[in-house]
Structure 1
Amino acid sequence: MTTQREIAESLGLPVHPPKTEVFDLAEGTNTDPKGHVRTVSRFHLEPFGLYIARPMPGHPRLAALESWLLPALGLRVSRFHRHPGHERDLDYYLDLVDVETGENRWRTVDHYLDLEVRQNRDVELLDVDEFVLAVHAELLDPETAERAMRRACAAVEGLARCGYDLPKWLRDNDIELSWDAQPIKGPVPEPRSLPPSE
């Protein structure tokens, strides 16, 4: 498997080029930044964005992921489902992205900056070092870099204002996310009746 660092080194760059992903709604696939085509368990469109749920077969730590692409905020909001023993104190992972929408095909371009949200506790801005290197290497033009930084600042400020409650901040932006919570098993099963307790 080729790592992002290996790609950057092969191109003589201090950091990898912006990662792009394609989401093909007609084919039910997600093409990752390395060109691997992955089967998507579920796509769901809302006026504010696109929901994706897919398994992550062969990944040592992650079993599945759920993401929402939110073009107006320039965010990809993800929840990871981890294998036992690989849990992390993390509720949401936000990538700063540009989102190109289409009837059957969506595309994201990652702008290096990420946010880790621990619900009702804190938010942490990540990968500023990669962002600075990418700007210096002219992998991001000034307009794109400024847009990404402004979106990151708006997200951090909005989350802080809402007590680090991501759903509340998103509702303030007229966005209500729903999650399957079981993307590797398909739709959430119907409730079962339990036998009466003695």
Structure 2
Amino acid sequence: MSVHLPACTPAAAHPVKTERHDTDAMTHHTNTGLRHVHTYREHAHGLFVARRFDRHPRIRHWQAQLLPALGVQLCRYDFHQAREHDFYIDIATISQQPDNAAVWEVRDHYLDVIVHEGATAELVDADELQAAQAAGFISEDEARRAYAAADAVLRGLRLARYHVSDWLEAEGVRVEWLAPEAARQAQSAGVVS
């Protein structure tokens, strides 16, 4: 089975976004700056992270599971207004620094999967990957691996009837999220746990 790309308008090419999580310093280094993280938890399948989104027009809070074996960063956003989606999946290479296991690196491969729990999932940003590959920001081999990872995610979600927990269970992956009340307390207090 292969990924069927939707028709899309050409995107402007931009370099691969690489982010770092320093679990000792409790910081998330993004392309827009350094952010404080209130919760990091390493687990058998990767790393859980949660932080507030200060002064963001749409997003209040973010939780993510970095899952290296699946090649994904699985995100849940808490929106100021109506929920836009249930999960946002970044196709990525995730690794720990060889000389410092406290630092996790996420190399985003442009492709994303948006999940509406129990209903559907859609692949987005294929135009960004195509533009980046044409500009030489990502190799043909890396792009091929990104498409294969996206294909596996979409196939798994379809088999799980678009229930993320069922998809993860079929992959042998168990994760935990912050309960809504704990997330709300973290949003207001910024408590480190």
**Which secondary structure does the structure 1 equivalent of 2:158 belong to?**
helix
Give matches, 1:105-124, under 5 Å: 105-124=103-122
Aligned to 2:51: 54
Alignment pair present for 1:131 and 2:133: no
1:173 CA displacement: 1.0
Deviation track 1:133-186 (CA, whole Å, cap 9, x = no partner) reads: 111111110111011000000000110011111110101111112110343523
Are the aligned partners of 2:52 and 2:186 in contact in 1 as well (CA < 8 Å)?
no
Alignment pair present for 1:93 and 2:88: yes
Aligned to 2:139: 141
Higher RCO (C-alpha under 8 Å, 6+ residues apart): 2
Aligned to 1:20: 18
Deviates more, 1:163-172 or 1:173-182: 173-182
Deviation track 1:89-112 (CA, whole Å, cap 9, x = no partner) reads: 411000001001242110101110
TM-score normalised over the length of structure 1: 0.83
Higher strand share: 2
How far apart, in 1, do the equivalents of 2:114 and 2:16 lie? Answer: 19
Deviation track 1:66-94 (CA, whole Å, cap 9, x = no partner) reads: 000000011000000111xx223411000
Supply the AA of the counterpart residue of 2:183: P
How far apart, in 1, do the equivalents of 2:186 and 2:84 lie? Answer: 25
Inter-CA distance 184–101: structure 2 relative to 1 (3 Å threshold): farther
1:42 CA displacement: 0.2
Are the aligned partners of 1:113 and 1:131 in contact in 2 as well (CA < 8 Å)?
yes
How far apart, in 1, do the equivalents of 2:17 and 2:125 lie? Answer: 14
Inter-CA distance 30–184: structure 2 relative to 1 (3 Å threshold): farther
Q: Which runs of 5+ in 1 are unaligned?
A: 1-12, 188-198
Are the aligned partners of 2:40 and 2:49 in contact in 1 as well (CA < 8 Å)?
yes
Alignment pair present for 1:73 and 2:70: yes
Alignment pair present for 1:171 and 2:169: yes
How far apart, in 2, do the equivalents of 1:82 and 1:44 lie? Answer: 23
**Which secondary structure does the structure 2 equivalent of 1:183 belong to?**
helix
How far apart, in 1, do the equivalents of 2:47 and 2:15 lie? Answer: 24
How far apart, in 2, do the equivalents of 1:89 and 1:39 lie? Answer: 25
| Equivalent residue pairs, number | 172
Computing the radius of gyration from Cα coordinates, the structure with the larger value is 1
Say which of 41, 45, 49 aligns to 1:44: 41
